[in-house]
Amino acid sequence: MNQGEENKDKLKKLVDELLKENPRSQLVKALTLELSMPYSGDPLTQMSTVLNSLNSIYLRPSRRKELER
C-alpha cells in the first residue's frame, strides 16, 4: 500500500471516529499527528479541520473554482 492510500485510510478512520457520539481523543490525536494535521480537543473544530483538508486533497483545482462561484 502506498503512502497516499495509507493516508486515505487514516483520514477515513479519523472521520469515522469523529462522527461517534464519544470520539476517543487519544485515537483522534494520534491520527491527526500521523497525518500532520493540527489537533483540537473540540470534536467540531477537529471535524472542520479534517473536512477542509479533504476538500483541498480531493477536489481538483478546476472543480474547486466552479464551486466557489
Contact yes or no for 10/2 (Cβ under 8 A): no
Domain that holds residue 35: 3-68
pLDDT at 68: 59
| 53/16: higher pLDDT | 16
Q: In whole angstroms, how far apart are CA 49 and each of 2, 7, 22, 41, 69? A: 24, 15, 18, 12, 22
Query: Which cell numbers hold the place of 6?
Result: 495509507
| Number of domains forming the structure of the chain | 1
pLDDT in tens, 19-65: 999 999 999 999 999 999 999 988 889 989 988 887 776 666 655 56
Interval 2-22 mean pLDDT: 87
